[in-house]
Amino acid sequence: MTATAVFVIDDDPEVRAAYASLLRSVGHRVVGYADADAFLAGDRPDCPACLILDVRLPGKSGLEFQRELGAHGIGIPVVFVTGHGDIPMSVAAMKAGALEFLTKPFRDQDLLDAVHRGLALDRERRAADALLSQLRSRFESLTAREREVMDWVAQGHPNKVIANALDLSEVTVKVHRAQAMRKMGAGSLAELVRIADRLAAMPKANGAEPSG
């Protein structure tokens, strides 16, 4: 089973200890922090994770820190816990992408269920990120002409149209298309199109973006 981690940010050491005891009892690795800055400054394990975040923290609030996480490129699922929650606060947290908003007192199982959902989501996110990174690396291995042909193929154009548009022979287009499929690991034209669509949806990087 892949190692996982649950991060806990709460300024009350007794609360951190209670969460840690509960989570460790079902096999989770737990790392606690007294405030948001300690979390950002700390060394975090590179594995699927979930963050339990207290709404009221010293300095910036949990809601403020939730927004800051995105700026730091940290996309792990967030489970908010609070003893002072209200509907506007929970709505704000959920709109900003929080996985769950638990108001004390809550059942231990509610927290465990939320954490398990968060870890499952983070596994999916990390797997998707790894696949996109691999596709990006493969795309960058294409020549400029192979990228151009792949783009035209992804738009649904037949070889003859592509050949005329790029002033190439159909045989040359077929060669570039085959090379692009091989390098991208596509077993069919339909798969190549799906790959091109996924790459086109990615943020631009180093100008090597399909034009789609």
Q: Mean pLDDT score of the chain, rounded to an integer?
A: 88
Tens digits of residue pLDDT in 6-40: 999 999 999 999 999 999 999 999 999 998 889 98
Confidence of residue 89 (pLDDT cuts 50, 70, 90): confident
The pLDDT value given to residue 209: 46
Amino acid at 67: R
CB-based contacts of 189-194 (< 8 A; 24+ apart in sequence): 189/153, 192/150, 192/153, 192/154, 193/153, 193/154, 193/156
pTM, full prediction = 0.75
Give the integer Cα–Cα distance in Å for 180 and 150: 7
The pLDDT value given to residue 204: 54
The pLDDT value given to residue 183: 95
Give the integer Cα–Cα distance in Å for 116 and 50: 8
- Mean pLDDT computed over 172-185: 95
The pLDDT value given to residue 85: 66
For tokens 């649904």, name the residue: 156
